[in-house]
Amino acid sequence: MARVSGSSYLFHSLLLISSLIVASQTLVSSRALTRLSIEKGLSWNYYFLQCPKLERIVRKHLEDVFENDSGQAPGLLRLFFHDCFADGCDASILLGDGDNDEKKHPANIGLREEAIQTIEDLRILIYKQCLPVVSCSDIIVLAAREAVRQLGGPDFDVPLGRKDKKTWNASAPDNLPAPFFRTGDLLEAFGARNFDASEVVALSGAHTYGRTHCSSLVNRTTEAEPPIDPSFNNTLIATCPTPNTDTTLNLDLRTPMKFDNMYYINLLNRQGVFTSDQDLASNDQTKEIVNQFASDQNEFFDTFSDAFVKVSQIDVITDRLRQGQGEIRDKCFFPNNKSKSSSVAERVAELVAEI
């Protein structure tokens, strides 16, 4: 029997791996593949060989988590937005001791600690099955996608392959939009990151579930514009007589724990909680889009999914972008020991990804 030479063996192995990767691409929805561009180093099937069960592990664990505490779903979606929009999807929001870090910034008021802990719990579960090959930033993105899907929202693919940042920047959340923004400010803040009006209206639709603290209701009950339904105004004042009142209020008064298009129906009824929400229904550049999403949930879901994928790629660190600035964290709350070189598992993961 002919002996297979080392190089021939390597060649056939690589051929097999490439075929598997190509085959796996066909599992990703053609819509995502054809319509959306992705950053260098990210791919739709990044962990196909290193951690094939990744998405199932995340999905299953979050089914259990949301069954006990559905509020973690909006908590995880907000965590994702605040990690990405502040200064890139790099899990820097998880770093620091709570004194002078991104979590402590006023824009991050109300981030749910349980949701933050869930990301680390997922990392531990994933580590047990796949070794340390999956980044905390990818886990945040996958968890947020599940937080949308499992509460009734759209199901969609997300590109993976982000690395985690080694440092944090306590003032990065300055970039986050504020609830007292009028639509002009909002479009400017998102425009700086290349998002257009319909993407801004769709992303704001994340306020279709979850809660707010009274301190975030700045000026909504005292200013004439944008308009407010009088009885809704009374509800806001009764629940939050002062900004310091220690209670929370649902963001969507109709279906508070469902990811649907009721948010837009609320806006048409002048029952948006934040100024930044309600003003979308009055502004010339956005009011028609609000009407469209209120009457067509599928259109909202499609625009939201694509915009989510776009947010998930803001300033990412990958094998091919900003090399050396990222790592796969051993624990989501701490950068790796600086003196430690890449683990073998990490190197193998990078090589496979490069192939």
Q: How far is the CB of 133 from ligand HEM (least distance, A)?
A: 27
- Strand 164-165 to strand 248-250: parallel, antiparallel, or no bridges (unpaired)? unpaired
Q: Judged by CB, which is closer to ligand HEM: 248, or 292?
A: 248
Question: What is the H or E stretch that residue 249 is in?
Answer: strand 248-250
Site size for ligand HEM (CB under 6 A): 26
Q: Judged by CB, which is closer to ligand HEM: 47, or 264?
A: 264
Contact call for residue 305 and ligand HEM (CB under 6 A): no
CA distance linking residue 48 with residue 3, whole number of Å:
31
Q: Is 82 a catalytic residue?
A: yes
CA distance linking residue 20 with residue 50, whole number of Å:
12
From candidates 10, 14, 33, 109, binder to ligand HEM by CB under 6 A: 109
Contact call for residue 110 and ligand HEM (CB under 6 A): yes
257 φ, ψ to 5°?
-120, 25
- Strand 164-165 to strand 211-213: parallel, antiparallel, or no bridges (unpaired)? unpaired
Q: How far is CA 146 from the centre of its chain?
A: 10
Q: How far is the CB of 158 from ligand HEM (least distance, A)?
A: 13
Q: Judged by CB, which is closer to ligand HEM: 204, or 266?
A: 204
Contact call for residue 162 and ligand HEM (CB under 6 A): no
Judge contact between 271 and 280, C-beta under 8 A.
no
Q: If you count DSSP H runs as helices and E runs as strands, how many of each does the chain have, helices first? A: 14, 4
Q: Judged by CB, which is closer to ligand HEM: 47, or 263?
A: 263
| Residues at the contact surface with ligand HEM, assessed by CB under 6 A | 71, 74-75, 77-78, 81, 109-110, 112, 177-179, 181, 186, 203-204, 206-207, 210-213, 216, 251, 274, 276
What are the catalytic residues? Answer: 82
